[in-house]
Chain A
Amino acid sequence: MGEVFDIELFRSALRLATPLALAAMGGILSERSGVVNIGLEGQMLMGAFVGWAAAVALGNGWLGVLCGVGAGALLGFLHALLTQRFRADHVVSGMAVNLLSAGLTVFLLRRFLEKPPGASGVPEWSLSWLQPIPILGGLLANQSPFVFLMLLLPFALHGLLYHTVWGLRVRAVGESARKSRLAGINVVAIRYRCVMYSGALAALAGTYLSLSQLNVFTEGMSAGKGFIALAAVIFGRWTPLGATAAALGFGFLDALQQRLQGETLFGVRVPSELLLSLPYLLTIIALAGLVGRSIPPADLGRQEVGE
């Protein structure tokens, strides 16, 4: 058994939850405005690739992050254009975004490189003054700046969504596009913005993968994290704080299965595949309302923009 539940386990849970929570914030923005975004996965992958490539070219990790986020916003714009301007089905468009990213990132990687070089990534913050504080110091010292962003962003988004006029409009548009339009809100403009922010945040999560967790891009490195982020959105009932809590839980499960490789938990052999599939199982259960109920915004995925 040994020491399974030590501080390092929780540190790595924070690290693993970071891309999930960041992308989940993107998912919330898009979906609360009424646009389904299953393109999170592709936007994350594209962010990881472009961020890394730009960091290699420019020799600066933070500039890489900026470029990656820009690429994600572009993919968000594409998704918004299709769903709002051309009234395309949100799911079909999202799948196309995922395919485009999967194809293009590998195409460019293979075309230009035998072996991807390391980039100058985003360095960790040592925060030595935190060290003496029990627990907190152990958890947060020497962590990536992205981890702090992940912990603070949900509160900012919560404030925006629930305590500003802009947030009220976003939620109104997601609940009823028709009534919002009648109330004089520019539905399409709000959705464009939210979906672009969504792509940008998913890509930010991607740059964390290729510039902080590793300093290199690997083929298909988002590896389904965009879909787990989507699960966190649903499990957290489309709220920033709830989704972050879910992402932290999913990150913890991932950290636990990595720790338990070949070990036993309380004397039981737990297959890592079981722990890895739990987020998906729990999300299905939550969506089916078997335990509590996750109810999406009323107008989510509707093509009509309320004539």
Chain B
Amino acid sequence: MKTPWRLVLLPVAVFVAAIAVAAVVIALSGSPPLPALVAWWEGAVSAPGALPESLLNATPLLFTGLAVAVGLLAGQFNIGVEGQLLMGALASAWVGFAVSGLPAPLHVLLALLAGALVGAVWGWIPGILKAWRGAHEVITTIMMNYIAIYLTQYLVTRVWKDPNSMSPQTPEALPSAWLPILVEGTRLSIGLLIALAAALILWYLLKRTVWGYELRAVGANAEAAQAAGVQVSRVIWGSMALSGAIGGLAGAVEVLGVHHRYYDQFSPGYGFDGIAVALLGNNHPLGAVLAAFVFGAMKNGAVYMQSVTVPAVPREITTVVQAVVIFFLAAMRFRRRGG
């Protein structure tokens, strides 16, 4: 059923409807909605410097959206991207500050790899538990999120804490591990290009390789895939590990490209934003690109909207929009097949 309606028009309609709901919420809260919407748009797209910052906001969302989408295509609901991101971020920060004497490209590569690897392990555990013991991945990934929160908290407050800082954060990564800036005078790094490359590679893997075909077959109908000779359990833990790796990469790019260190409570919920991105992008890698940009721009614009509207419209309205988008899509289209 690949009609343009499903792929493009429906998501656009849903997003517009969600913004309309937000406008109603803003109006009910006593702020004039029209100036708020105008400011929202300006802050997202047309104000000076808005666009690079919107792209910066979109980068982690693209990674987490891809991570969730890979899982969903295989019939696995990875709610654990948040934890995978935290683990990956801390791992890459460690490589960034503890490993020295490497040339820049190699150091960056090693740090990215560390993030992806640790994230992969964090996703693989729920995957193998499901494949081997039938433990529901939704519950185990939620639990893994909290274990990640406490483990990273422990490491960053007691083991790898920057001795010269009062707050729980690691030392700054060496400049050789920083991602180069993409647009001069902004905070936008080549992390965006890495995310776009990841989307393209995933699109190729999923649509053009046997491995991708098997993954989607398991997502569509695990029993039929098993009967057709696909090793379902391997696909389950493999897809969860890949999903986790992308989640870990999200954290690594955020560390190496923006903050250059890990600090406690690193993520404002990027992992959960990924669910909204994957759904709005129809679980398609290229759809995720558009959805990530839309949400990233929306979040960025809301900061500006909060600063110029009177009375101020709190930027948390973006979370409400995401929730409404998910409600609409869940009610209209989204079905998870597979067990």
Contact pattern, A 277-290, Cβ under 8 Å of B = 1, otherwise 0: 10011011001111
Q: Are A287 and B135 within 8 A (Cβ)?
A: yes
On whether the beta carbons of B138 and A36 are closer than 8 Å, the reply is: yes
Expressed in whole angstroms, the minimum distance between the Cβ of B306 and any Cβ of chain A is 9
How close is B197's CB to chain A, nearest CB, in angstroms?
28
Q: Could you tell me which B residues sit within 8 Å of A by CB distance?
A: 25, 29-31, 77, 79, 129, 132-136, 138-140, 142-144, 146-147, 150-151, 153-154, 158, 269, 272, 275-276, 279, 311-314, 316-324, 326-327, 329-332, 334-336
> Considering only CB atoms, which chain A residue lies closest to B276 in the complex?
A99
Binds B, one of A18-26, A58-66, A81-89: A81-89
Q: Is the CB of B29 within 8 A of A271?
A: no
**Given the complex of chains A and B, what is the CA–CA distance between A38 and B135 in angstroms?**
16
Which residues from 57 to 116 on chain A have a C-beta closer than 8 Å to any C-beta of chain B?
78, 82, 86-89, 91-93, 95-100, 102-104, 106-108, 110-112
- The docked-state distance in angstroms from the alpha carbon of A43 to that of B132 is 33
CA distance A283 to B146 in the complex (A): 12
> Which B residue's beta carbon lies closest to that of A102?
B319
- Chain A residues positioned under 8 Å from B319 (CB to CB): 99-100, 102-104, 106-107
Check if A38 sits within 8 Å of B142, measured CB to CB.
Answer: yes
A99 touches B25 (CB 8 A): no
* A151 contacts partner chain B, Cβ-Cβ < 8 Å: no
- Whether, in the assembled complex, A307 has its beta carbon less than 8 Å from a beta carbon of chain B, the answer is no
Interfacial chain A residues near B129, Cβ < 8 Å: 284, 287-288
Q: How long is the Cα–Cα vector from A78 to B327 in the complex, in angstroms?
A: 9
**A228 vs B289: C-alpha distance in the bound complex, in angstroms?**
34
The tally of residues in A whose CB lies under 8 Å from a CB in B reads: 46
B314: nearest chain-A partner, CB-CB: A110
Which residue of the partner chain, among B77, B134, B279, B322, contacts A103 with CB atoms under 8 Å? B322
- Chain A residue nearest in CB terms to B158: A271
* Chain B residues, Cβ within 8 Å of A273: 150-151, 153-154
Interchain CB contact under 8 A, B139 and A230: yes
CB distance from A97 to the nearest CB of B (A): 8
Q: Given A107-B314, A273-B150, A287-B140, does the pair A95, B135 have CB atoms closer than 8 Å?
A: no
- Minimum-distance CB pairs A-B, first 9: A103-B319, A100-B323, A88-B330, A99-B323, A110-B314, A86-B331, A273-B154, A96-B326, A280-B143
With A273-B153, A273-B154, A284-B140: A96-B320 Cβ-Cβ less than 8 Å: no
Q: Which residues of chain B are within 8 angstroms of A97 by Cβ–Cβ distance?
A: 323
Residue A227 at the chain B interface, CB threshold 8 Å: yes
Q: A277-B147, A277-B150, A288-B135 are in contact. Are A100 and B320 (CB under 8 A)?
A: yes
A253-283: CB near B (< 8 Å → 1, else 0) gives 0000000000000000001011011001101
Do the beta carbons of B320 and A284 come within 8 Å of each other? no
A277 contact set on B, CB distance < 8 A:
146-147, 150-151
Contacts of B150 in A (CB 8 A): 273-274, 276-277
Evaluate contact between B323 and A280: CB separation under 8 angstroms: no
Using a CB–CB distance below 8 Å, which chain A residues touch chain B?
36, 38, 78, 82, 86-89, 91-93, 95-100, 102-104, 106-108, 110-112, 224, 227, 230-231, 234, 271, 273-274, 276-277, 280-281, 283-284, 287-290, 296, 303
- Closest-CB distance, A2 to chain B (whole angstroms): 22
- Known interface pairs A92-B334, A99-B323, A100-B327; 17 further A-B residue pairs with C-beta atoms within 8 A, sorted by A's residue number: A86-B331, A88-B331, A91-B336, A92-B329, A96-B323, A97-B323, A99-B319, A100-B324, A102-B319, A106-B319, A107-B314, A107-B320, A108-B29, A281-B143, A281-B147, A289-B135, A303-B335
A82-B330, A91-B77, A273-B153 given; A110·B320 CB < 8 A:
no
Q: Bound complex: CA of A37 vs CA of B92, how far in Å? A: 35
A86 to B334, CA, bound (A): 10
A-B contact pairs, 7 of them (CB 8 A): A88-B331, A102-B316, A111-B30, A224-B146, A280-B143, A284-B129, A289-B134
Whether B144 and A93, one on each chain, are in contact in the complex, defined by CB atoms closer than 8 angstroms, is no
Known: A95-B272, A276-B150, A280-B147. A288 touches B335 (CB 8 A): no
Smallest Cβ-Cβ distance to B153: which chain A residue = A273
Complex contacts, A96 vs chain B, CB 8 Å: 323-324, 326-327, 330
Which of A78, A87, A103, A287 sits near B320, CB closer than 8 Å? A103
With contacts A95-B326, A277-B146 taken as known, whether A103 is within 8 angstroms of B334 at the C-beta atoms is no
Please, which residues of chain B bring their CB within 8 A of the CB of A288?
129, 132-133, 135, 140
Shortest distance from the beta carbon of B93 to any chain A beta carbon, whole Å = 18
Q: Which of A111, A231, A290 contacts B143 (CB 8 A)?
A: A231
Bound Cα distance from A88 to B77, whole angstroms = 14
CB distance from B328 to the nearest CB of A (A): 9
> Hey, which chain B residues are within 8 Å of A224, CB to CB?
146
Contact call A284/B314, Cβ cutoff below 8 A: no
Q: Shortest distance in angstroms between A296's beta carbon and chain B's nearest beta carbon?
A: 7
Across the interface, which residues of B come within 8 angstroms of A230, CB to CB? Answer: 139, 142
